[in-house]
Structure 1
Amino acid sequence: MILLAFAAAAVAVTPMAERVVTLSALNKRSGRAETFTAKPGEQVSFDALTVRVRACETTRPEEPKLTGAFLQIDERLRGGAARRLYSGWMYAESPSLHPLEHALYDVWVRSCSMRFPAVGPDTVVSGRAAKSESSAKKSPEAASAPSN
């Protein structure tokens, strides 16, 4: 029974391809800023940057907030060549933990949208009468009292 509940919970989590990450980018020279949304497997362009989203994760609503995305950021150079500037996880709550270090651009994660299952193997449901059989031995029924 617990295995079935766990399997149902695993199915209800948002598949990676359906999650949506929100990113922001800033051109420090011009002051231009833009916010993008993309799903894992997609890419967005900002000036000479190409940002590929590979994954995004966020903690359940009842847990301390931690949101991250695995990004690959390339810069298009003159002549059409590209140079990898960044490849790794960025976290919305700690943008300085793994920042893009570039003289002209900043890129940061703002959010990752996904859903979580409503039930899981440790879910306690109130309001229903729980019907369970105890594995403890039952005491013998009280013998009827002798009548006087």
Structure 2
Amino acid sequence: MPLLLLALALSGPALAQGSDQGPPAEAGWVRKRSAQLQALDKVTARITVLDAVVGQPVRFGSLTVTVRACNARPPDEVPDAAAYIEVRDDLLPAASPLAFRGWMLANAPAAHMLEHPVYDLRILDCR
């Protein structure tokens, strides 16, 4: 049990919501310049694929999405992508906390999700 807790403590901060660190470099992640995101409007059932350059905000409905980092696995490994994303809902006051800030994983979309009544967002790929 203590060994499991140590392993979680060492790996957890890199992927925890609110962390500004990326996936561990020793895990073989490669930095990329843009992210491909899938956005869903739950009211209209409209799905949109967004291409977001790291550091440049993109809009979807009332959301402003900024990808701060996007990392992918090398081609010789199992495909995966991880993006550090900040999401602001522009319908809320400017002083409100962000709707989401943290790492999203392509192969584990439920691990760290945007919890919003109208929109869903997930990372598809880093390029």
Give per-residue Cα distances to partners, 1:112-131, cap 9 Å, x unaligned. 01xxxxxxxxxxxxxxxxxx
1:22 equivalent in alignment to 2:69: no
Does the CA-based 8 Å contact 1:68-1:109 persist in structure 2?
yes
Q: 2:31 and 2:49 mapped to 1: Cα distance?
A: 23
Q: Give the Å deviation of 1:82.
A: 6.2
Give per-residue Cα distances to partners, 1:86-142, cap 9 Å, x unaligned. 0001011110010111111100101001xxxxxxxxxxxxxxxxxxxxxxxxxxxxx
TM-score normalised by structure 2 residue count: 0.70
Letter of the 1:99 partner, please give it: M
Identical aligned residues as a percent: 36
TM-score normalised by structure 1 residue count: 0.60
Structure 1: unaligned runs, 5 residues or longer: 1-13, 114-148
1:60 equivalent in alignment to 2:71: no
Q: Give the Å deviation of 1:15.
A: 6.5
Does the CA-based 8 Å contact 2:31-2:69 persist in structure 1?
no
Does the CA-based 8 Å contact 2:38-2:121 persist in structure 1?
yes
Letter of the 1:45 partner, please give it: R
Does the CA-based 8 Å contact 2:35-2:83 persist in structure 1?
yes
Which residues in structure 2 correspond to 1:102-141 (within 5 Å)? 102-113=116-127
> In the alignment, which residue of structure 1 is the partner of 2:94?
81
Higher fraction of strand: 2
Q: 1:81 and 1:67 mapped to 2: Cα distance?
A: 30
Aligned length: 97
Aligned-residue CA RMSD (Å)? 1.8
Structure 2: unaligned runs, 5 residues or longer: 1-29
Q: Which has the larger radius of gyration?
A: 1
